[in-house]
Amino acid sequence: MNILLIILLVSFPPEDKIKINNVWMRTSSQNMATALYFTIENTSEKADTLFRVDSDIAGKVEIHETYSQGDMMGMQKVDFLAIKSKKILELKPGSYHVMLMKLKEDVNDGDKENFVLHFKQAGEINVTATAKKSN
């Protein structure tokens, strides 16, 4: 029975309920801050929440949103991001982003860095971001 289950799982692996795409971060220098961006697609029947991001290259990591007030722009920490069932949430410049503070090293154009995204339902998802100068 166990062997049959293994064969089935190998032949038909469960589909990822959360898909992460377009992972990138902006170049920055040691001790400074930068932002990590990606798209979250929730293909499951349930809503999910991103509540933490881990990184080896940052001393502190927070989920943030950029907001505008008249001609002024600011940003604030958010505790989590909710992604409704069958919906896509985009973390992008001028909007939601993961703020990486106190960088332990320079992040140069083309560098690749690993992150762990923590979701309430989907659990841990490992991603790799490529650093870019672009907007």
Partner 1 sequence: MNKIFTILISIILLLSISCKEKLPLDKDLTKKNYNLINQEGEDVVFPEIIKGHIIVMGFIYTHCPDICPMTTHNMYLTQKKLKEDGIDDVKFVALSFDPDRDLPEVLRKFAEIRELDFKSWTLLTGDRTTVNELMKRFDVRAIKTDENLDEDGILEYSMMHTDRISLIDENGRLRKNYKGSTLNIEEIVNDIKTLMD
* Chain residues that interact with partner 1, rule: CB under 8 A: 26-29, 32-35, 60, 64, 66, 68-69, 71-77, 93-94, 97, 99-101, 106-109, 133-135
Cβ proximity to partner 1, 47 vs 75, nearer residue: 75
Q: How far is the CB of 84 from partner 1 (least distance, A)?
A: 24
Cβ proximity to partner 1, 86 vs 102, nearer residue: 102
Cβ proximity to partner 1, 15 vs 133, nearer residue: 133
Q: How far is the CB of 78 from partner 1 (least distance, A)?
A: 12
Cβ proximity to partner 1, 11 vs 76, nearer residue: 76
Q: How far is the CB of 72 from partner 1 (least distance, A)?
A: 5
Distance in angstroms (rounded) separating the CA atoms of residues 129 and 38:
9
Report the amino acid identity of residue 107: V
Q: Which long-range contacts link 19-24 to residues 24+ away (Cβ below 8 Å)?
A: 19/43, 20/117, 20/125, 20/127, 23/115, 23/127, 23/128, 23/129, 23/130, 24/129, 24/130, 24/131, 24/132
Distance in angstroms (rounded) separating the CA atoms of residues 7 and 12:
8
